[in-house]
A and B are shown apart, each in its own frame.
Chain A
């Protein structure tokens, strides 16, 4: 069972049901002791609502932003660069290397290869199997494509780095 005070606080805070609110309305109207307690609590509530907040020092915001900026500046470069960019570059180079290796094998003689006197590897393709002509794909346009992607990635990285540097200087 709630005490009178608890019920009145719920009433003042608007934390009671409609039924209870109506019942308290009646009690305040009819019961002098109830009304007096209600007025006391309401006055206390109003005083609490009027309380003033404390003020931090003048340079508070500046200090916070200085700390954030210092923390940002201390961050190592590797943490600031998006790891997806690094993975993208790594992937690009792996694909390039693999293609070059395939090309190298394809350009090498496929007939018996003598690595030494004792080691002989003979690469023979099964009958009817025809390797695609990789030379056709590794022409000038493909190399130009590789260089183009390289340049785009480089520019993207430079742009990201310069943008972050500019933003940290803004604050």
Chain B
């Protein structure tokens, strides 16, 4: 059962030496942190590793957290930098979505969808899958905005950008997402959106 204390209260308890309070914070934010990590790693094992790493890093530097911003904003900035470092380490080519193999993959995926799979799977599934095909930056902005319930300013703080830049990037990310959905689902996209 999760504690009803605020994030700040849990942080204060953690800093006073109560590690159980930090476990509550982890439980509260783990789903979103994991989802965000999934946007970068594309597989569950790596996403879990990234998410764990983020919570450990956050614990280590909890004393330096300035309580002027939300804990979630601070935590998501840790997730972003950790995930980017992970991508660099793994030498994942972030443009690989445009390479030949991916086209083949997408083609196969589309043909699978034509077999009325759209009826059996949820809309959320297709959206998540299309987001997974976006570049990490686009996927992160959409995830932070819709799932993290972050304002444009807060996303700016997390990604180290101006709010206006975030606004433009969000607009482009949504356009690209729509294109991916149209490509993946073809005529069924009208039913989805």
Task: Tell me whether A60 and B35 are in contact in the complex, defined as CB-CB below 8 angstroms, given that A47-B127, A167-B17, A171-B19 are known contacts.
Answer: no
Partner of A56, one of B34, B128, B193: B34
- Tell me if B35 and A68 are in contact (CB < 8 A): no
Q: In the complex, what's the smallest C-beta–C-beta distance from B111 to chain A, in angstroms?
A: 24
Quick check: is A111 within 8 A (CB to CB) of the other chain? Answer: no
Given A47-B127, A51-B128, A53-B35, residue A67 in contact with residue B193 (CB < 8 A): no
- Give which listed residue, B19, B123, B127, contacts A69 with CB less than 8 A: B19
Q: Are B23 and A65 in contact (CB-based, < 8 A)? A: yes
Does A55 make an interface contact (CB < 8 A)?
Answer: yes
| Count of chain A to chain B residue pairs whose CB atoms are closer than 8 Å in the complex | 100
The residues of A that contact B51 with a CB separation of less than 8 Å are: 56, 60
Interface: A52 (CB within 8 A) = yes
| 6 other A-B residue contacts (CB within 8 Å) besides A54-B38, A65-B19 | A43-B193, A51-B127, A56-B51, A64-B23, A65-B23, A170-B18
The answer on a CB contact under 8 Å between B124 and A50 is yes
CB within 8 Å of A: which residues of B?
Answer: 17-20, 22-23, 26-27, 30-32, 34-35, 38, 44, 47-48, 51-52, 55-56, 59, 122-124, 127-128, 131, 142, 146-147, 152, 167, 170-171, 174-175, 178, 192-193
Rounded to whole angstroms, the CA-CA distance of A48 and B23 in the bound complex is 30
Flag if B142 contacts A60 (CB, 8 Å). Answer: no
Expressed in whole angstroms, the minimum distance between the Cβ of B190 and any Cβ of chain A is 9
CB of B19 within 8 A of CB of A168, answer: yes
* Dominant secondary structure at the B interface: helix
Could you tell me if A56 and B27 are in contact, using CB atoms closer than 8 angstroms? no
**A123 contacts the other chain (Cβ, under 8 Å)?**
no
In the complex, which residues 106-127 of chain A have their Cβ closer than 8 Å to any Cβ of chain B?
none
CB–CB B146/A51 < 8 A: yes
Check if A63 is an interface residue, CB within 8 A of chain B. yes
Binding site of A, secondary structure by majority: helix, strand, loop or mixed? helix
Report the contact-size class of chain A (Cβ under 8 Å from the partner). 35 or more
Query: Given A52, A53, A67, A170, which contacts B20 in the complex, CB threshold below 8 Å?
Result: A170
Given contacts A47-B193, A54-B47, contact A61 B30 (CB under 8 A): yes
Chain A contacts of B55 at CB under 8 A? 64
- Min Cβ gap A51→B in Å is 5
Residue with the greatest number of chain B CB neighbours at <10 A, chosen from A6, A40, A56, A63: A56
Known interface pairs A52-B124, A67-B56; A57-B48 also in contact (CB < 8 Å): yes
